């Protein structure tokens, strides 16, 4: 599709992503590798194009995804290096795991038995990392008897090679790292328990983006950030910057009188005479609905003529903004939903704060309808 046909365009600066990755690498201790986590449509940046660019231009040879479907998409795009699925895997996907040489979590004995049978059938060895549940209570086995049973079971399975272990932190974003340090202590005990069983672990990993910057003890010899390489550092420790700009346009300008309703269902009543710009995007593009309420002062903002203005209402395909204080707003003017315009900037962090949700929620909500353009 030609960019001229799109109502809204998401521009991803791949050169900025490369700079972000270099900043992360420089922060890591020697011997700690960087595994790039690419999931959820690349947190709105796209899954395949950024990953291919990173593989070819950033010296990265390890990737992680959340689901098998994402890993397969990357494989079919030509990324043939280390590829780990971090999340749960349906039993029906076992043949695909073996076929595409994916690294998998080891915590479910039934899954591992099925995978062993398939690996033997395909004459392959599938690599797995034992998932330790240290407190998040999602996936994994607990320290002690449950871990012992899993290790003993895996040792009987042909076609499965345990090459690593990992856990996931429950509170990595907190300045007080007490809970994280407790989880690390349990993870270290699990590592000792595994190695006492005669298994040598090539990879040990814990750190997501928050943990990587807040607590160096989480680094081990592999880290797996997602949001950080996209420019979102919750601590402002690293020199990383957002790599995304989202633009749309003004499709109409009108005056709404005090007491007049705009949008559907009489849901937005003007408190004063208001100049309204109608914008060429809506909820169908993935803009989080929590950002638009009946109270404009609490709503998300957009940039028009370099000034921040509040949204008034949003439909599936169009939105309304209060441009009363901006002179000469006209049809076809450029509007920024994310990015820098003049001296002002809107970031996903800012929108997350306004919406009372996480930056990740804002990122992952970005839909497929906005056209993506990648700058190399």
Share of the chain above pLDDT 90, in %: 97
Domain boundaries in the chain? 14-230, 244-375
For 15-25, how does the pLDDT look when each residue is reduced to its tens digit (9 = 90+)? 999 999 999 99
Cβ-based neighbour number of residue 59 at 10 Å? 12
**Structure confidence at residue 221 (pLDDT):** 97
Widest Cα–Cα separation across the chain: 77
For 92-113, how does the pLDDT look when each residue is reduced to its tens digit (9 = 90+)? 999 999 999 999 999 999 999 9
Share of the chain above pLDDT 70, in %: 100
**Structure confidence at residue 253 (pLDDT):** 98
**For residue 38, which of 9, 77, 7, 2 has the smallest C-alpha distance?**
77
Please state, in angstroms and rounded to a whole number, the distance separating the CA atoms of residues 114 and 110.
6
Helix axes 145-154, 178-196, angle to 10 degrees: 40
Please state, in angstroms and rounded to a whole number, the distance separating the CA atoms of residues 40 and 44.
7
Cβ-based neighbour number of residue 80 at 10 Å? 12
**For residue 323, which of 339, 333, 310, 314 has the smallest C-alpha distance?**
310
Please state, in angstroms and rounded to a whole number, the distance separating the CA atoms of residues 33 and 40.
23
Overall pTM > 0.85: yes
- Of the candidates 39, 62, 131, 204, the residue annotated as catalytic is 39
Please state, in angstroms and rounded to a whole number, the distance separating the CA atoms of residues 186 and 60.
30
39 is catalytic: yes
Please state, in angstroms and rounded to a whole number, the distance separating the CA atoms of residues 333 and 248.
9
CB 366 within 8 A of CB 46: no
Pairing relationship of beta strands 274-279 and 319-322 according to DSSP bridges? antiparallel
**For residue 287, which of 225, 210, 346 has the smallest C-alpha distance?**
346
Q: What topology does CATH give the domain 14-230?
A: TIM Barrel (3.20.20)
202 is catalytic: no
**Structure confidence at residue 266 (pLDDT):** 85
For 31-81, how does the pLDDT look when each residue is reduced to its tens digit (9 = 90+)? 999 999 999 999 999 999 999 999 999 999 999 999 999 999 999 999 999
For 168-218, how does the pLDDT look when each residue is reduced to its tens digit (9 = 90+)? 999 999 989 999 999 999 999 999 999 999 999 999 999 999 999 999 999
- Of the candidates 91, 155, 185, 264, the residue annotated as catalytic is 264
Pairing relationship of beta strands 244-256 and 334-341 according to DSSP bridges? antiparallel
Q: Do domains 14-230 and 244-375 have the same CATH topology?
A: no
Question: 244-375: CATH homologous superfamily?
Answer: Lyase, Ornithine Decarboxylase; Chain A, domain 1 (2.40.37.10)
């Amino acid at each position: 599709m030609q960019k001229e046909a799109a109502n809204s365009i998401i521009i991803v600066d791949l050169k900025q992503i490369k700079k972000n990755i270099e900043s992360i690498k420089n922060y890591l201790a020697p011997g700690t590798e960087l595994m790039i986590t690419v999931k959820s449509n690349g947190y709105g940046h796209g899954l395949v194009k950024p990953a291919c660019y990173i593989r070819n231009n950033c010296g990265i040879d390890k990737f992680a995804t959340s689901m098998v479907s994402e890993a397969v998409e990357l494989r079919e795009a030509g990324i043939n290096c280390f590829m780990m699925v971090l999340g749960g895997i349906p039993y029906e996907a076992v043949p695909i795991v073996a076929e595409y040489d994916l690294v998998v979590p080891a915590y479910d004995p039934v899954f591992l038995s099925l995978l062993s049978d398939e690996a033997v059938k395909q004459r392959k060895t599938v690599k797995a990392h034992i998932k330790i549940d240290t407190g998040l209570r999602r996936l994994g086995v607990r320290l002690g008897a449950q871990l012992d049973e899993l290790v003993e079971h895996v040792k009987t399975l042909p076609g499965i090679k345990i090459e690593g272990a990992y856990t996931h932190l429950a509170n990595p974003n907190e300045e007080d790292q007490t809970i994280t340090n407790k989880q690390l202590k349990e993870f270290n005990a699990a590592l000792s328990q595994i190695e006492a069983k005669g298994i040598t672990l090539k990879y040990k990993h814990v750190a997501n983006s928050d943990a990587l910057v807040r607590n160096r003890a989480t680094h081990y010899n592999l880290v797996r950030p997602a949001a950080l390489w996209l420019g979102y550092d919750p601590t402002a420790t690293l020199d990383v910057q957002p790599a995304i700009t989202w633009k749309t346009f003004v499709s109409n300008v009108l005056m709404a009188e005090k007491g007049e309703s705009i949008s559907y269902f009489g849901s937005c009543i003007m408190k004063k005479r208001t100049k309204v710009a109608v914008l060429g995007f809506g909820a169908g593009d993935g803009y989080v609905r929590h950002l638009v309420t009946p109270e404009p002062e609490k709503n998300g903002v957009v940039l028009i003529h370099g000034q921040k203005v509040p949204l008034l209402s949003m439909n599936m395909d169009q939105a309304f903004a209060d441009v009363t204080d901006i002179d000469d707003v006209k049809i076809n003017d450029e509007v920024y939903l994310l990015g820098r315009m003049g001296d002002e900037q809107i970031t996903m962090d800012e929108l997350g704060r306004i919406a009372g949700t996480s930056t990740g929620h804002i990122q992952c909500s970005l839909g497929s309808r906005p056209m993506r353009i990648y700058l190399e």
